[in-house]
Structure 1
């Protein structure tokens, strides 16, 4: 990081996947990080392994359980963040999204079960409503930082080019781009708070979870040479690719309302199952 002081960073969905990778990256570079996650097993696992990660002497980290579909719990988490960060927040990363990205149990959007609507509601609540609510509630902390803090929303290339049965995921990830544009204007003019989005392509995070740690899995496990060759960049994406984009957006003081695509190329071509 090019920062002259440790940053206070709040990451949602930080117990696995991209969020966990960002937690590791930013405590390694000496920052104070708070993660929120609804998965208790993954959260407890992160608490057990994070002390083994390389870190800077100025690093500090905190992990809190929070169901981001519950608005009252979001309010409580913001109060916890205010206490932990002494009222100042440099970076809010809205990363959380419920998994799986497709409809569960092999359903399609034309399924007549009400269960599919429950899944829709959950993805919208966690992936779109929670980022809006967290962002607005964190404004006082973001304003209190010097310079004012920034917000980074994690979208997906699936916002532009979906695959079958990604309706809720794609809709939410497209919605977060619209939210980014609107908040960049509102919060920029009034508070000098910058808001940007990262659009990841295929970022392999199968190694960023408890089951993979228990099995001793490495990043490349499960990836074929064909997976790599599909990408003009020569490989599938890694969490560090996203971390570098986040670092850029933190330091890019003239960038707001922007969308940074982190994609090796293959996800620009839709691949349907036979």
Structure 2
């Protein structure tokens, strides 16, 4: 029995990377998928890659009024995934405070705004995407680790507050997404190769790996308040 057939799914940040792979996975399992992000152009491109009857909506999760207005005009969802985030990074003493505030506003407060406004069916799910730096800190990415840890704590609390809606987090390690396109091709491949050599899994992650974990959480009725690491062993390496 396909547990996702005809369910209504929203993927915030569904226009690229992990969000796009997640939206595609839900669509392939028969869900009615709506993808949302800030860029109409990226949404149109993503919809073409997903195919089927996927719908799109422009949404900036850093805009409180826009989030509240958006959800006041949408129906109830069965499953919601929040993977949208822009988090500039760097050492605490060098990262401008404005950039630090923007990172927190995007990844943590963006998810918070969605969680307080969205209507999810009883027994449905809300899934955040954090990152393994929450448990494996980096001296050059302290803020990202703190944001990820706070997002995971938010999910655990919401699992109590929003019950019987289930709330979980997927925590990826290094994943080959367009996030790294800013690096040159050689530098990017060198980073991937170096990471693969260090990781117990001997490979870097693909967006589909993370999407698989999201699908697991959405379709497992006993999973709530959980953080699932999908990091190739990065947290223990």
> What TM-score do the two structures reach when normalised by structure 1?
0.75
Aligned to 1:78: 71
CA distance in 1, matches of 2:46, 2:157: 38
CA distance in 1, matches of 2:155, 2:218: 15
CA distance in 2, matches of 1:230, 1:18: 22
| Alignment counterpart, residue 116 of structure 1, candidates 78, 81, 96 | 96
Change (3 A) 1:167 1:231: closer
Aligned to 1:62: 55
Answer whether contact 2:213 2:228 (CA < 8 A) is retained.
yes
The alignment partner of 2:203 has SS state of: coil
| Alignment counterpart, residue 48 of structure 1, candidates 38, 45, 49 | 45
Aligned to 2:86: 98
Q: How many residues align?
A: 234
The alignment partner of 1:237 has SS state of: coil
Does 1:205 find its partner at 2:177? yes
Q: How does 1:32-47 map to 2 (within 5 A)?
A: 32-38=32-38, 40=39, 43-47=40-44
Structure with higher Rg: it is: 1
Higher strand proportion (structure 1 or 2): 2
The alignment partner of 2:14 has SS state of: coil
Answer whether contact 1:31 1:60 (CA < 8 A) is retained.
no
* Unaligned ranges ≥5, structure 1: 212-216, 270-274
CA distance in 2, matches of 1:4, 1:51: 21
The alignment partner of 1:182 has SS state of: helix
Aligned to 1:214: none
| Alignment counterpart, residue 126 of structure 1, candidates 79, 86, 106 | 106
* Unaligned ranges ≥5, structure 2: none
Change (3 A) 1:237 1:183: same
The alignment partner of 2:77 has SS state of: coil
| Deviation >3 Å, runs of 4+ | 206-209, 220-227, 266-269
> What TM-score do the two structures reach when normalised by structure 2?
0.86
CA distance in 2, matches of 1:208, 1:9: 27
